[in-house]
Structure 1
Amino acid sequence: MVQRQLPKPLELLELMQFKRPDLNARRRRLNSALTIEDLRRIAKRRTPKAAFDYTDGAAEGELSICRARTAFRDIEFHPQVLRDVEHVDTHREVLGGPMALPFAIAPTGFTRLMQTEGESAGAGAAAAAGIPFTLSTLGTTSIEDVAAANPHGRSWFQLYVMKQRDISYGLVERAAKAGFDTLFFTVDTPVAGARLRDKRNGFSIPPQLTLGTIINAIPRPWWWYDFLTTPKLEFASLSTTGGTVGELLNSAMDPTISFDDLDIIRGMWPGRIVIKGVQTIEDAKAFADRGVDGIVLSNHGGRQLDRAPIPFHLLPDVAREVGKDLEVGIDTGIMNGADIVASIALGARFTLIGRAYLYGLMAGGRQGVDRAIEILATEVTRTMRLLGAHTLDELTPQHVTQLERMVPRARQ
């Protein structure tokens, strides 16, 4: 029989330790987020539908992004036990410079539309964390302002080759002059993908007010206050704006882009050059033969060709074929630090985070980006410890099995 007694008042007081309330609403909601998905839910509550869907959505049926995320969920880790992992080192030399963590912030367009601090918040948070920040050609903060927000950190620039080549050449020269050390030459966007959420929402730059957008904005006055009381939203590196996202992209992109354009840009750029948007082993080999410094396996976050190859599935074969000749990066679908660890184990030198950073930005501006990086960093180090790896170089393909859900039929 269990002996029962009345609780003593002092014992009750020990149990009733109330948490001190945090009166800072932003800090309170960000601290409540334990995962990137938590930040996504907060971002969805706080951001008008058109802006949130531009970030969250993808092309057509959104199969590419769903498959990419599924591929990361469908892995099995193989931990090695009785290893000393008291101290875990996540530093790595990538593209000629240091990275404190094995991920960088990916290039994203229209960023100040998500939250008014935009690219400046991302660049500042990246600098504080010791990771690179990548500015998009379609960014809403200028090359020079991003450099000012990240004066001692690493800045990378993502380039679209446009129909008006002189515009692209001018951007290359400005980025070099501002101290950006790596150029990401993007090859997967000869034309814009069919982003159906944006079309249904009437998403455009500048935003167009309709009855639907006004109704959707009523419970989000803070977003509109920020939007209306800060500098006009426009492309900081381009002079022509106006129209839907698809119209803007199609007016800027050029379906005639070729290897000749790559040769011209390489002749202009003094730093490292990386090809972003590689989706086949054959193309990876072709770029390795041309002596570029790196490639990024990417289907543009599922925003271009729907049903595109899954970058994470391509990674082991590509790393095996060209990993000794150039540095291989990967993006698309990363929502957890475990996704990053698995990518490093299978041969990636680095990863890029896009939506994960934007969810943090929408959830809480610069502090939200800091929180997103903190969440991923914590997940990276915890996963490494549980796998028995105290450095990134100790992660190998033996740590990861890609489970098969979508097995291709044999070609006839």
Structure 2
Amino acid sequence: MKRQLPKPHDLAPLLVFKRPTLSPRDRRLAAALTIEDLRLIAKRRTPRAAFDYTDGGADGEVSLARAREAFGDVQFNPSILRDVSTVDTSREVLGSRVSLPFGIAPTGFTRMMQAEGEIAGATAAGAAGIPFSLSTMGTTSIEEVAAANPVGNGGRNWFQLYMWKDRDRSMALVDRAAKAGYDTLLVTVDVPVAGARLRDVRNGMTIPPTLTPRTVANAIPRPAWWFNFLTTEPLAFASLDSWSGTVADLLDTMFDPTVTYEDLAWIRDQWPGKVAVKGVQSLADARRLADAGVDAIVLSNHGGRQLDRAPVPFHLLPSVVHEVGSELEVHLDTGIMSGQDIVAALAHGAHFTLIGRAYLYGLMAGGRAGVDRAIEILTGQVERTMRLLGVQTLDELEPSHVTMLRRLAPLG
């Protein structure tokens, strides 16, 4: 074999050095290739109580584990020799076009996760052309979110409503959201009482955080979080008065276990925009809500944070779509941690999906830039999965593209 010394002009194309990134945050986020990568960064940078509030579920966290297993048990069935040089990830959702088949779900206590809170989520959503949902338990006001993500700039805001025992206060929030230009009301119906979130109990999760020797010890290696927490506006709920106590106590004090379908009809009559009901967990309730004339339902077990061992929304999806999918939009959340999960849900008939934890992991990992990175990761995964399946548009996704490999099946 003849050998020769390499010439400089031959070596030059092989020795391209990466330009250094000076910002530690930007380096961390660029190295994150999956939502799980963002989760690990978030865990390192966030005090345990705040991180576990996001990361955990109810009781033994069986519902959460099963939801994630359900997506992991999907087999994709690709079609070949299709022109997928371009793909279109947009879709009409509740009256307006969105750029991607997912939006940001409502999350409470968001500024506790990272000081930028809801503003980071809302502005990132607006930039990406997707809806942002503000929770009743949000830590930024209805009006501040609307100003940060204005409709005139393509922003789209949804308001998530818990019905309180004090109905006048509930409807005052609804009125404020309507006046601020929110186009959809997400009525959440799966919290008559708080779920048993044992991580929060063990961590002494309170608003504001309870300082104990364990809390302080856990915070020492996370100075950035504490600096932001102590040098920004004191944490409070934007929609209610200050509270000092556990999260579970707050929920049980606020939320009304007497809410019925009649109350839903009353709410719908007072809201000028679209109405979606979040927390649907049975075919019978989906049927009744379709008959009631709501615009959308969200199949959700609250991210596994309420009733443990609840139905897995992804398992419930095909039967619900078959029953009511032509009458209203069927959305889905719980367990979504990748763009592949989103594509699997769409192929099984979901019209749209919502991400909660995935967005919060990005927020905790890097504020607004972290949320942008989470959306970027999911977008890339959705587009790549569509191409590998051989589809150009979301409407081309069909049940034949996925096989659900169930590990759980009812006996008898």
- The number of residues matched between the two structures is 409
**In structure 2, distance between residues paired with 1:15 and 1:123:** 42
Give the match for residue 73 of structure 2: 74
**In structure 2, distance between residues paired with 1:409 and 1:274:** 33
Matched residue of 2:92: which SS? strand
The TM-score, its normalising length taken from structure 2, stands at 0.97
**Which of 139, 164, 167 does residue 165 from structure 1 map onto?**
167
Give the match for residue 245 of structure 2: 243
Deviation at 1:16, TM superposition (A): 3.4
**In structure 1, distance between residues paired with 2:281 and 2:366:** 34
**In structure 2, distance between residues paired with 1:258 and 1:321:** 22
Matched residue of 2:293: which SS? coil
Matched ranges for 1:244-263 at <5 A:
244-263=246-265
Deviation at 1:302, TM superposition (A): 0.1
CA displacement, residues 299-320 of structure 1 (integer Å, 9 cap, x when unaligned)? 0000000000000000011001
- Runs of 5+ unmatched residues, structure 2: none
Matched residue of 2:187: which SS? strand
Deviation at 1:240, TM superposition (A): 3.9
CA displacement, residues 107-150 of structure 1 (integer Å, 9 cap, x when unaligned)? 00000000000000000000000000000000000000000110
Give the match for residue 202 of structure 2: 200
Give the match for residue 191 of structure 1: 193
Give the match for residue 271 of structure 1: 273
CA displacement, residues 354-380 of structure 1 (integer Å, 9 cap, x when unaligned)? 000000000000000000000000000
Matched ranges for 1:8-407 at <5 A:
8=7, 11-12=10-11, 14-152=13-151, 153-407=155-409
**In structure 1, distance between residues paired with 2:277 and 2:17:** 53
Deviation at 1:11, TM superposition (A): 4.6
Deviation at 1:45, TM superposition (A): 0.5
Residue 333 of structure 1 aligns to which amino acid in structure 2?
G
Q: CA-atom RMSD, angstroms?
A: 1.1
**In structure 2, distance between residues paired with 1:298 and 1:24:** 38
Residue 129 of structure 1 aligns to which amino acid in structure 2?
A
| 393-402 or 16-25: bigger deviation | 16-25
Matched residue of 1:292: which SS? coil
**In structure 2, distance between residues paired with 1:373 and 1:142:** 23
**In structure 2, distance between residues paired with 1:261 and 1:186:** 12
Residue 96 of structure 2 aligns to which amino acid in structure 1?
G
Deviation at 1:182, TM superposition (A): 0.4
- In the TM superposition, structure 1's runs of 4+ consecutive aligned residues that sit over 4 Å from their partners are 2-14
Matched residue of 2:384: which SS? helix
CA displacement, residues 66-106 of structure 1 (integer Å, 9 cap, x when unaligned)? 10000001011111111111110011001111110000000
**In structure 2, distance between residues paired with 1:22 and 1:291:** 53
**In structure 1, distance between residues paired with 2:321 and 2:100:** 20
Matched residue of 2:353: which SS? strand
Deviation at 1:289, TM superposition (A): 0.8
Residue 352 of structure 1 aligns to which amino acid in structure 2?
L
**In structure 1, distance between residues paired with 2:101 and 2:342:** 7
Residue 130 of structure 2 aligns to which amino acid in structure 1?
I
**In structure 2, distance between residues paired with 1:148 and 1:403:** 45
Deviation at 1:18, TM superposition (A): 2.2
Matched residue of 2:378: which SS? helix
Deviation at 1:3, TM superposition (A): 4.9
Percent identity at matched positions? Answer: 68
Residue 95 of structure 1 aligns to which amino acid in structure 2?
L
Matched residue of 1:351: which SS? strand
Matched residue of 2:331: which SS? strand
CA displacement, residues 158-198 of structure 1 (integer Å, 9 cap, x when unaligned)? 00001111111111100001000000111100000000000
